[in-house]
Amino acid sequence: MPSIQIGDRAPDISAVAQDGTRISLANYRGRQPVVLFFYPKDGTAICTKEACAFRDSFEDFVAAGAVVIGVSSDSQSSHREFASAHRLPFHLLSDDDGALRTALGVPKTLGIMPGRVTYVIDRDGIVRHIFNSQFSAGRHVKEALAIVRQLAEGKEG
């Protein structure tokens, strides 16, 4: 499946979070922007840095009206441990079968490693920003927050 591009409608993906809640992008349509970040694996150095950077900016995202959701192929129990250990205040979705990555066309790095891609989806369900970088974890947060703030001000990303 081809990758989702800026200006495309985000697919209505749905998965279970670390607390057992089923989260669907459709639940946010018409309500608020979504920052959806895909990362390779709980507990690895760069993934932990990225998740903690989203945690540290979480109140800024909330103030701008956005919800933050992380996605990896790890299990619910792994996500629970990861979220608890690092005090992550957002949902982590378990994409154990890769369906969410496939639905958005998240590319693999070097053809083998799950990609690290962040999508900013506006309240209408339209993808307004995509940032793809395996190693620049901090830029995922910085760029997503800038776009969310633009959306809050009524500007397109």
Give the up-direction half-sphere exposure of residue 137: CA atoms within 13 A in the CB hemisphere. 16
Task: Name every residue whose Cβ is closer than 8 Å to that of residue 36 and which is 6 or more positions away in sequence.
Answer: 10, 25, 69, 71, 104, 118, 119, 120, 121
Task: Name every residue whose Cβ is closer than 8 Å to that of residue 4 and which is 6 or more positions away in sequence.
Answer: 10, 11, 104, 105, 119, 127, 130
Catalytic residue among 15, 23, 36, 47: 47
Is the model's pLDDT at 153 over the cut of 70?
yes
CA distance 82 to 47: 10
Per-residue model confidence as pLDDT tens digits over 72-120? 999 999 999 999 999 999 999 999 999 999 999 998 876 777 888 999 9
- Please report the pLDDT score of residue 11 as a whole number: 94
47 is known as an active-site residue: yes
Confidence of residue 143 (pLDDT cuts 50, 70, 90): confident
CA distance 157 to 146: 9
Quote the pTM value: 0.92
Domains contained in the chain, CATH given: 34-152 (3.40.30.10)
Per-residue model confidence as pLDDT tens digits over 112-141? 778 889 999 999 999 999 988 767 777 778
CA distance 112 to 128: 27
Per-residue model confidence as pLDDT tens digits over 9-52? 999 999 999 999 999 999 999 999 999 999 999 999 989 999 99
CA distance 137 to 117: 10
Confidence of residue 2 (pLDDT cuts 50, 70, 90): low
Confidence of residue 157 (pLDDT cuts 50, 70, 90): very low
- Please report the pLDDT score of residue 156 as a whole number: 53
